[in-house]
Amino acid sequence: MDNLFAARSTMAISLAFHIIFACIGMTMPFLMVISNWLWIKRKDEIYLKLTKAWSKGVAIFFAIGAVSGTVLSFELGLLWPGFMKYAGAIIGMPFSWEGTAFFVEAICIGLFLYGWNKLNPYIHWISGLMVGISGVLSGIFVVCANAWMNAPAGFNWVNGRAINIDPVKAMFNPAWLSQSSHMIIAAFIATSFAVAGLHALLLLRNKNNLLHKRALIIALSFGSVFAILQPISGDHSAKDVAKRQPIKLAAMEGHFKTDKGAGLTIGGIPDINTETTNYGIKIPKLLSFLAYGNFNAEVKGLKDFPRNDWPPILPVHFGFQIMVGIGFLLAFVGALFWILYLKWKDKLTAKWFLKIAAFCTPLGFIAVEAGWIVTEVGRQPWIIYNIMKTSDAVTPVPYQIVHLILFIIVYLFLSVMAVWLMSRQIKVLDNFQILKND
């Protein structure tokens, strides 16, 4: 394995690990404060119990997210010094804001978790809300920096050096809004459906448990709104990619031949040798419409770009199909939830619906990971699109494979531990409720 591939893999697993905790850190605080609000207003013990259970989840996931985030701030330089040497001065600003937001989040989480008996209930509630708000702001700032790698702005690149730096233009680059809104919504969906799924699973065991039922309703009513909105944001993102990174769009679609009135391929297996995508379902002219708002627009195919500039086609294509597929499935489940909630409320705890909800538990996170594969692998071979190649940014330190193996071990261990810890939390919570209902 060469150094570049080892470094890319280390970055990939570090990000793949961190993003799960970042998503949870952005979303769970909102679920927690909704439940807390209901406790303040209705004085129903179950909401208090639920808030405390969720806040423990927030604490655990935030701590792991914070340390894995600290690690990432070093990984950028450990793996990509050639990138950071220039990018630091251009795109450091959102990171400095992110630091502030993250700090506020850490302070507020301390206040919320340990301030139950020390703070006025409304100040306590606001501190919980601030955890969520600063979490979302952190997320937006970091995605701004990533968006800049896809849509570099705010500098001129002359003879391998950056001049005329404008940090504001760099931060609010043309892709910042589409990318960060897509990500924040995705975090809301993934986490809410995972939370709902877990409670659905527990309801399947004991369907009279009120705590789990209320948890399911809070999580789904929050997540489903965003699940229904996400296709709009996805469309916005796709049009952005079509405009600025046509080669990425072509890879996402497995679209090899430049075409006017190009059809949309659903599924299919791209074959790089024959330069065709087989076995997919093709809907005529739809790709042209989705990418450019015109059924007869020309969509560039991969063949029009030099082979050296192609990203790895298979992961990008499959990543995209998986993300979109899951996105629509969750939007459908979200709509189903609202129909049941408004018309047949008792069906929410029906076995078939709980099974669907439980099935959705991991899906949102799978979609998030798949989406990041599209973004990151789809940008290859560039680290700064059309400016700097990833291979020119990689560290000169040899034996990156050792770095990779160490981090695989650590992250694998932590993932197992986190799952184990959550299962123990749930076990205790469940015991308590059963006792209470008896």
Partner 1 sequence: MIYIVIFFFLVSIYIYCLLGGADFGAGIIELLEKKQFKERTRNLVSEAMAPIWEANHMWLIIAVVVLFNAFPIVYTQLLVSLSIPLILMLIGIILRGTAFTFRHYDAIKDSSQELYSKVFEYSSLIVPFFFGLIVGSIISGKIVTDPSSFYEGYINPWLNLFSISTGIFVASLFSFTASVFLTSEISDKRVLDDFILKSKKSIVAAVISGLLVFISSLIDHVHFFESFFSNYLSIGLMVVATAVLPLLWKILEKGLKWLSRFLVGAQLLFILGAFYLVYFPVLVKLQGGNYLTFYNSAAPEITLNYLGWALIVGSLIIFPALFYLLKVFKTEKQT
For residues 82 and 301, which CB has a smaller minimum distance to partner 1 in the complex? Answer: 82
Q: What share of the chain is helix, strand, coil (3-state, %, to 5)?
A: 75, 5, 20
For residues 91 and 331, which CB has a smaller minimum distance to partner 1 in the complex? Answer: 91
Cβ pair 230, 181 in contact under 8 A: no
For residues 259 and 430, which CB has a smaller minimum distance to partner 1 in the complex? Answer: 430
For residues 73 and 208, which CB has a smaller minimum distance to partner 1 in the complex? Answer: 73
CB of 178 to partner 1, least distance (A): 24
For residues 178 and 390, which CB has a smaller minimum distance to partner 1 in the complex? Answer: 390
Cβ pair 229, 195 in contact under 8 A: no
CB neighbours of 116 closer than 8 A, spacing ≥ 6?
A: 124
The continuous run of DSSP H or E covering 291 comes out as helix 286-292
CB of 171 to partner 1, least distance (A): 9
For residues 130 and 360, which CB has a smaller minimum distance to partner 1 in the complex? Answer: 130
Smallest Cα–Cα separation from 222: which of 35, 383, 61?
Answer: 35
For residues 99 and 231, which CB has a smaller minimum distance to partner 1 in the complex? Answer: 99
CB neighbours of 180 closer than 8 A, spacing ≥ 6?
A: 139, 140, 143, 144, 147
CB of 133 to partner 1, least distance (A): 12
Q: Say how far apart CA 22 and CA 58 lie, in whole Å.
A: 11
- Which stretches of the chain bind partner 1, using CB under 8 A? 56, 59-60, 62-64, 66-71, 73-74, 76-78, 81-82, 84-90, 92-93, 95-100, 102-104, 106-111, 113-115, 118-119, 165-168, 395-398, 403, 406, 410, 414, 417, 421, 424-425, 427-429
CB of 47 to partner 1, least distance (A): 20
> CA of 37: how far to CAs of 24, 32, 87, 191, in Å?
20, 9, 43, 20
Place of tokens 């770009």: 305
CB of 212 to partner 1, least distance (A): 16
CB of 56 to partner 1, least distance (A): 6
CB of 218 to partner 1, least distance (A): 21
Cβ pair 254, 280 in contact under 8 A: yes
Token pair in block for residue 241 = 């990619």
Cβ pair 213, 206 in contact under 8 A: no
CB of 352 to partner 1, least distance (A): 31
Cβ pair 347, 337 in contact under 8 A: no
**Antiparallel, parallel or unpaired: β 264-266 and 156-158:** unpaired
For residues 109 and 302, which CB has a smaller minimum distance to partner 1 in the complex? Answer: 109
Q: Residue 268: which region, alpha, beta or left (left: phi > 0; alpha: psi -120 to 50)?
A: left
Q: Say how far apart CA 143 and CA 434 lie, in whole Å.
A: 43
